[in-house]
Structure 1
Amino acid sequence: MNPMRALRQYQKVNSHAQISEASPHRLIQMLMEGALERMAQAKGAMARGDIPQKALLITKTIDIITGLRAGLREENTDDKEALRQLDSLYEYMTKQLTLANAKNEPELIDEVARLLITVKSGWDAIAPE
């Protein structure tokens, strides 16, 4: 067996194990980490001129942010306004990533990464229930 293929298979199994054991709080953290990782990879692909890979990674990031946005539930919070603001922020991130993809602008990816890091740091500060 190819050693790289074996490593990827191990990582996939390990990732599935982490997901199945993770709390809902940890799952959100993992999604945010995954989005940040894919944005960094997309910038690398952009720098190399690997347009198909850049587009794939930005699309994966948008999918993650869309998933985070879809997970927002009014019934889970007393602060409806904060929830609406976070929903709008996720929508803005998606638009900026779409623009970054279309215009090949790494600065837009950086902007979204900074915004997501801010959201993630707030989420990280919340103790899981």
Structure 2
Amino acid sequence: MQGAGAYARVGIESGVMSASPHRLIVMLFDGAQASIRAARIHLETGNLTEKGQAISKALDIVNNGLAAALDAERGGEVAENLASLYDYIVRLLLAANRHNDLEKLDEAERLLDDIASAWRDIEPQVAGG
């Protein structure tokens, strides 16, 4: 099993190193959404430690990945709106963790999915196609 994990890490690292900036953002959304799904499963099965770890990972991705990637100067109002939305998602995730609240977890996932879908829709335009 360790070999499979190492192989997967190499695949992910290779994907990150060769990814466009746009693709990296998509990968961050994917990671945050996967962490929220894992948190939901852990919450539903009573694994609260793992739930907390999964939510912490999602928080890290939203704060130190998605929000940190915003360029307020070049992004203007769109970047400001996304920053506010990411802040709201962080608050939802913190409340979901503190109160074991599936509804707040679901809302955070829906919001991230909406933004990710819009981001994916612009990918062909970014790639020039």
Which TM-score tier does this pair reach, normalised by the shorter chain? over 0.9
1:76, CA displacement in angstroms? 2.7
**Which consecutive residues of structure 1, in runs of 5 or more, have no partner in the other structure?**
none
Q: Given the two structures, how large is their TM-score scaled by the length of structure 1? A: 0.92
Correspondent of 1:86 among 82, 98, 109 = 82
Structure-2 residue corresponding to 1:34? 31
Alignment of 1:65-84 (within 5 A): 65-66=62-63, 67-77=65-75, 80-84=76-80
Q: Given the two structures, how large is their TM-score scaled by the length of structure 2? A: 0.92
The alignment status of 1:63 with 2:31, answered yes or no, reads no
The alignment status of 1:44 with 2:41, answered yes or no, reads yes
1:75, CA displacement in angstroms? 2.9
Q: Distance in 2 between matches of 1:32 and 1:76?
A: 21
Number of corresponding residues: 124
Q: Distance in 2 between matches of 1:107 and 1:31?
A: 22
* TM-superposition CA deviations, 1:41-72 (whole Å, max 9, x none): 00000011111100000000000000211111
Q: Percent identity?
A: 36
3-state SS of paired residue (1:102): helix
